Amino acid sequence: MTKAMRVVRSLETVYPDARCELNFESAYELLIATMLSAQSTDKRVNIVTKELFKEYNTAEKMVTLSEQELIEWIRTIGFFNTKAKHILQTSHILLQKYDGQVPKSREELVTLPGVGRKTANVVLSNAFQIPAFAVDTHVGRVSRRLGLTKSEDPNVVEKDVTSKLPKYLYSKAHHLMIFHGRRCCKAQRPLCDECVVLQECSYYKESQKSKNKKVRRKDSK
DNA sequence: AACTCGGGGCA
DNA sequence: TGCCCAGAGTT
């Protein structure tokens, strides 16, 4: 049993319902919702997509919207200008190259405008049940504090953590670390008193060691 | 590696 | 007011 597996087992007891919090009913809906969620919150994305997907829940329907019309739909979400453009471009490509379907490989997904490493992995694991470990700011920070990686590069973090996990735990580990990062292992003022993986945490050990010195700010930005 | 895009929520 | 939010693209 690796350290990463022990972490998953412990976090599971605290966040038994950890899961993707975006509302979706198809791979296309999840793809669009995930694109919208970048640097935003799932709660706000769900408010927008609840209405948007009633009319525009496929690539074919989405491209009937003009860029300005789509911007009006998503105006309450940050980066709406770029996101509207990317959503329409991606929808056109889906129609031209993939018969309107969402491709099921990371290589194909990341070629779509507005789809990066993280979005691709979220779609693969949550829409297609393909093992994938998506690294966002929370997952990266939690992984580094626990000592599962030392890298700031999300690609390296992904490699380091997945090398210590069986594939069937990739998605679960991803969701558990996000929940933990948001509710306990926060960027500022982490709630170490309430943490169930404190024994595994190199960040905590360091902060104890240098209690009278300046606490490391590397992961507190 | 370091920018830029960006409105809304919250202290 | 200032800081943060389940990132991606460009230089």
pLDDT in tens, A27-47: 999 999 999 999 999 999 999
Q: Check residues 136 to 165 of chain A and report those whose beta carbon is under 7 Å from nucleic acid strand B.
A: 152-153
Q: What's the pLDDT score for residue A205?
A: 72
Q: Six-digit token pair at A113?
A: 């405008």
What span, in angstroms and rounded, lies between the C-alpha atoms of A161 and A91?
Answer: 32
In terms of Cα–Cα distance, which of A218, A210, A194, A196 is closest to A145? A218
pLDDT of residue A220: 41
Catalytic residues of A: 118, 136
What angle do helix axes A80-97 and A27-37 make, rounded to 10 degrees? 150
Give me the CA A40–C1' C4 separation in Å, rounded: 9
A75 touches strand B (CB under 7 A): yes
User: What is the rounded distance in angstroms from the CA atom of residue A71 to the CA atom of residue A79?
Assistant: 10
Residue A215 has pLDDT above 50, yes or no: no
A38: helix, strand or coil: coil
To which H or E segment does residue A94 belong? Answer: helix A80-97
Q: What is the mean pLDDT of chain A?
A: 92
- Number of C-beta neighbours around residue A61 at 10 A: 13
pLDDT at A221 over 90: no
